Amino acid sequence: MASVGSVTRQIAAMEISSKKPTPASGSSIRPALTKQPSGQNVTKLLTKYAAPNPFTNASNKPNNPSSLRHPIPHSTHSSTSTKPTHATQSSIDIGRYDGGLELDNEKRGEKVYGEAAEELALDSSVSRKHPTREWSLHDFDMGRPLGKGKFGRVYMVRTKSEPRYILALKTLYKSEIVQSKVEKQIRREIEIQQNLRHPNVLRLYGYFHDEKRIFLMLEFAGKGELYKQLSKYGRFSERRSSRYIEQMADALIYLHGKHVIHRDIKPENLLLGINGELKIGDFGWSVHAPGNRRMTLCGTLDYLPPEMVEGREHNEKVDYWALGVLTYEFVNGFPPFEDRSSVNNTYRRIARVDLKFEEKDIRLSEEFKDLVTKLLRYDPQKRLPLTEVLKHPWIVKYRPKDVVRESA
């Protein structure tokens, strides 16, 4: 059971980091990336449990409504349903429920009152843009625990109503959110993520609350955390990295089109779906910024761009920089400006864009180095546009022959 929890402890991907901040408010230093033993392989078991992906093609503009929406006539759903089938979903063993929610609720959390209670009375059935049916705990068969977050537990659950989807149900205790003074941040995460519909963005299907808790109904990313894979293998091949970066670029184009800046792209905030596809999660530092000009310093130190390090205004191009850092780390196994001896040295390297390509153990392709160099530019306006990233030789080189991407 412990190994299941370790693989999926961030499966809900809505975590507010509990790490202590670095001297720069809102940023964090990541632990050194080390290879870990593979341990028991539970992902084969977990991949069976994901709710069907609502996307049937790569157009990123699905017309079919979510099967969790209400009302949807049964005949309509059956004509658009995707695998796994209802029978398969119903027969899956979701594991033994340990009674943790009840035990937690007896000794954890308190009722909140006043303005905080109103702000945290979150219910997707009354959402303006995408209202769902009304949900409660009684609508789910509870399964095994998947992990613990800062504000509560995560469980594998199955809806009692057809088509009996498998989901990850995450619990957040309202009083702990208030104590941490992140009411607005939690609400913002939920408001942002509930409106996102992209195959490489973790889906939030719905949410509801009771007197003490908020419950998030999240897509089950069956293969767990990408960071765990990176830790296991040390680094990825250029082929595998290229496929991930293409998915990332496509998702970021979608987010920016919705005026959403992620601001905390890093391996720890990425998950893998049942088919190994990348899923962006954790929108804790995201912001809906139609004006696209922000000043808040946030994110993770190794991924901060020069404009944030120097306290200047920033826009969606902070995500371009982070994509460049991610590309570098995927292939090399460590971020490009990391200096483990000093936080200040890392800051200085970022500000100078002190980019070096070390080829002690591996040979790096020229296409890879070219893409990273064009993304990691000091001037945000000179960073390679994401639409051009999709056309870059390093991406095209490893794109499967049967994938045809429309010109942007």
Rounded to the nearest 5°, which phi and psi values hold at 218? -115, 150
DSSP 154-208: EEEEEESSTT--EEEEEEEEHHHHHHTT-HHHHHHHHHHHHT---TTB--EEEEE
Rounded to 5 degrees, what angle do the CA atoms 17, 346, 186 make? 20
Residues within the annotated binding site? Answer: 150, 170, 219-221, 268-269, 282
**Six token digits for residue 140:** 């789910």
Q: 318-332 and 366-375 are packed helices; what angle lies between their axes, rounded to 10 degrees?
A: 150
At 289, which helix (H) or strand (E)? Answer: none
Amino acid at 108: R
- Is residue 208 within 8 A of residue 123, CB to CB? The reply is yes
Q: Report residue 247 CA to chain centroid gap.
A: 13
> Cis bond leading into 145, ω under 30°?
no
Q: Confirm whether 264 is a catalytic residue.
A: yes
Side-chain-side CA neighbours of 25 within 13 Å: the count stands at 4
Query: Of 390, 394, 393, whose CA–CA distance to 328 is shortest?
Result: 394
Residues within the annotated binding site for ATP? Answer: 150, 170, 219-221, 268-269, 282
Distance of alpha carbon 12 from alpha carbon 216, whole angstroms: 8
Side-chain-side CA neighbours of 156 within 13 Å: the count stands at 29
**Six token digits for residue 63:** 């017309």
Residue in 264, 339, 354, 361 annotated catalytic = 264
Residues with catalytic roles: 264
